[in-house]
Structure 1
Amino acid sequence: MVAGRNPVAEALRSGQLIDKILLFKNASGESINEIRLLAKTYNVPVQFVPVEKLNSLTNIQHQGVVAFKSGVAYQDLQQVIDWVNERGEAPLFLMLDGVTDVRNIGAIARSAVCCGAQAIIIPEKGVGALNEEAVKSSAGALEKIQVCRTQGLLKAAETLHLNGIKLFTSEMKAVKKLHQLNMQEPCCIVMGNEEKGIQKGLADEADEHFTIPMKGDFDSFNVSVAAGIILYEAMKQRMYGITQ
């Protein structure tokens, strides 16, 4: 965490990886304007909060500004799609909707790298911070996979569709089973919050809805475990073909 107007501005100017900036909603002045401009230049989200929120985070004289460092560098989604296509690969992406536990995010990233996925897509808000703990949980995988942060997942879904990449979402009541999907084609797997699931608008944009077969009579898999199962099926199909 970086607190104070000059330290935050310097962190941005020097190219440090910043996850987000919390700004006192009534803060003003030349240095605040510079921070907002630098944040816009480097695509760093800015959230306007009450001063009590900032006071609860640090005892340092924050001057109305607190920034959180990021453990990864964020990439542009379209540029990543172009990069994957140039390599002659079929895109295999993950999209995280409301996954807030950094340990789950780390575990998902680890499975993604092991199974050959090229990118993880996250929103600016509503997802766990990709900080040192997340990188540690991923065993360094978050530093080996492209991470794309977008202003909204619906916009990201539109970009994926324009590039011929299908969206697959997991639903408990879906008719199609995981192994019945064609995951050799360019696709993005959407993983949602364990309690709320995937937001309706995003689910409506999905090309395929599927379920993971379970033998036991229980609620569902943990989100990171489910992601690992799905990614393994994608890797198996891409290495050995589709088997029913």
Structure 2
Amino acid sequence: MKQFRQKQQRPKKSSLVIGRIAVLEALQEAKQLDRIYIQSNLRGDVADEIQKLAYKQQIPINKVPVEKLNSFNVNDHEGVIAQLSKIRYQDLQQVIDWVVDKGQVPMFVILDGVTDVRNIGGIARTALCCGAQAIIIPDKGVGALNEDAILTSAGALELIAVCRVNSLMKAVDDLHLNGIKVLASEMTAKKSIYDCDFKEPCAIVMGGEEKGVFPGLMKICDETFKIPMKGDFESLNVGVATAMILYEAMKQRG
């Protein structure tokens, strides 16, 4: 069956930082940026400094042809455009400390390769309603948390903590060091969701619909589990699957 994707709207000009010096100053002022688009063949000290600061601040950089930059319909971009973020990203360790200090049991959602912003928005909405305290995303390979994502989340993305990390593998290590078990949803797993203990500190890994969870990430998870299904259908939508898992976790937590 042919799948149709909703065409993403061009970002509003008010949400863009345009030009090398403007983007560099935004980085130096530690403004919240969703990502930076740099012309693939751009060279020079300013371009190098932009990339250095972006890496340090865990802001994704997309190296793109000039045609992509021109598609933003702005003048004098000088090979660099940044998109302002509507989300204030949080440090993972600080979020863990905050949750524990409040006397809560951590329950986080890790998104690996989930690119559809509507799915991300729906997951954030469900996560907030089910008592999850944070969503963890990588700085690359995930849908942009733009206006469409926030609209789909009904504002939940502005209320739940969002931690953007440059490595999900490193994030899992940090979770383990804090005594948080990491469980991955995998349709071929032998263990059922109903046999998992979600009452303990945990983080749930959800993979994209096309590739699932990255094998290397799956390998370092503590457990894998599946959602039992009748019939011979391939799988559930990632947003629906996440909702089913989080409601089971909420049920267990009483």
Separation in 1, partners of 2:54, 2:238: 32
Q: Which moved more, 1:22-31 or 1:163-172?
A: 22-31
Separation in 1, partners of 2:54, 2:164: 14
- Whether 1:88 and 2:103 are equivalent positions in the alignment is yes
Q: Which moved more, 1:162-171 or 1:101-110?
A: 162-171
**3-state secondary structure, aligned to 1:20:** strand
Separation in 1, partners of 2:55, 2:217: 26
Q: CA deviation at 1:163?
A: 1.0
- Structure 1 consecutive aligned stretches of length 4 or more whose deviation exceeds 4 Å: none
Q: CA deviation at 1:35?
A: 3.3
Conserved 8 A contact 2:58-2:164: no
Residue in structure 1 matching 2:170, options 143, 155, 172: 155
Q: Which moved more, 1:50-59 or 1:128-137?
A: 50-59
Q: Which amino acid is the alignment partner of residue 148 of structure 2?
A: E
1:162-197 deviation line (CA, Å, top 9, x unaligned): 111111111222121111100000111000011111
Q: 1:174 to 1:40 in 2, by over 3 A?
A: closer
1:26-66 deviation line (CA, Å, top 9, x unaligned): 33445435534543454323333333332344342210101
- Whether 1:195 and 2:216 are equivalent positions in the alignment is no
Conserved 8 A contact 2:108-2:132: yes
Residue in structure 2 matching 1:145, options 117, 137, 160: 160
Separation in 1, partners of 2:56, 2:204: 30
In the TM superposition, 1:20-39 aligns within 5 A as 20-29=35-44, 31-36=46-51, 38-39=53-54
With the length of structure 2 as denominator, give the TM-score of the two structures.
0.87
Conserved 8 A contact 2:58-2:139: no
- Whether 1:169 and 2:163 are equivalent positions in the alignment is no
**3-state secondary structure, aligned to 1:27:** coil
> Residue in 1 aligned with 2:115?
100
Q: Which amino acid is the alignment partner of residue 98 of structure 2?
A: W
**3-state secondary structure, aligned to 1:9:** helix
Conserved 8 A contact 1:167-1:206: yes
> Residue in 1 aligned with 2:194?
179
Q: Which amino acid is the alignment partner of residue 95 of structure 1?
A: I
Could you tell me the percent identity over the aligned residues?
Answer: 58
**3-state secondary structure, aligned to 1:44:** coil
With the length of structure 1 as denominator, give the TM-score of the two structures.
0.90
What do you get for the CA RMSD once the two structures are aligned?
1.8
> Residue in 1 aligned with 2:11?
none
Q: 1:38 to 1:92 in 2, by over 3 A?
A: same
- Whether 1:43 and 2:58 are equivalent positions in the alignment is yes
1:56-101 deviation line (CA, Å, top 9, x unaligned): 4434221010112222011111111111111111110000000000
> Residue in 2 aligned with 1:110?
125
**3-state secondary structure, aligned to 1:142:** helix
Conserved 8 A contact 1:69-1:131: no
Separation in 1, partners of 2:205, 2:55: 27
